[in-house]
Amino acid sequence: MNNFLWALKFLTILPIDREDRIKLNGSGHVVYWFPVAGLCIGIFLSIAYVPLYSVFPPLITDALIILVFIVITGALHLDGLADTCDGIWGGWTKEKRLEIMKDSRIGSFGTIGLICLLGLKYVSLLSIGEIPATNISPFSACIKSVSCFISPVVINKCVALLVMPVVGRWAQVCAAGISAYARNESGTGSFITKGTTRKQVISASFFSVFLFWFFYNLYGFVIFAIIIIFTLGWIWYIKKKIGGMTGDTLGATNEISELVFLLNISLFY
pTM more than 0.85: yes
For residue 4, being part of any structural domain is answered with no
Per-residue pLDDT for 243 more than 50?
yes
For residues 130-150, give the mean pLDDT. 62
Cβ atoms of 22 and 9 within 8 Å: the answer is yes
pLDDT in tens, 169-213: 999 999 999 888 888 877 767 778 877 888 889 988 999 999 999
Amino acid sitting at position 231: T
Write the burial class of residue 237 (CB in 10 Å: 0-12 exposed, 13-18 middle, 19+ buried).
Answer: exposed
For residue 261, being part of any structural domain is answered with yes
Domain assignment of residue 41, given as a range:
28-267
In b/e form, how buried is each residue of 82-113, taking b as 16+ CB within 10 angstroms? bbbbbbbbbbeeeeebbebbeeeeebebbeeb
For residue 11, being part of any structural domain is answered with no
Per-residue pLDDT for 133 more than 50?
no
For residue 8, being part of any structural domain is answered with no
| Angle CA 46–49–52, to nearest 5 | 165
For residue 186, being part of any structural domain is answered with yes
Cβ atoms of 68 and 45 within 8 Å: the answer is yes
Cβ atoms of 79 and 113 within 8 Å: the answer is no
Per-residue pLDDT for 129 more than 80?
no
For residue 84, being part of any structural domain is answered with yes
- Number of domains, the chain: 1
Question: What does the pLDDT read at residue 51?
Answer: 94
For residue 22, being part of any structural domain is answered with no
Cβ atoms of 214 and 141 within 8 Å: the answer is no
For residue 241, being part of any structural domain is answered with yes
pLDDT in tens, 48-81: 999 999 999 999 999 999 999 999 999 999 999 9
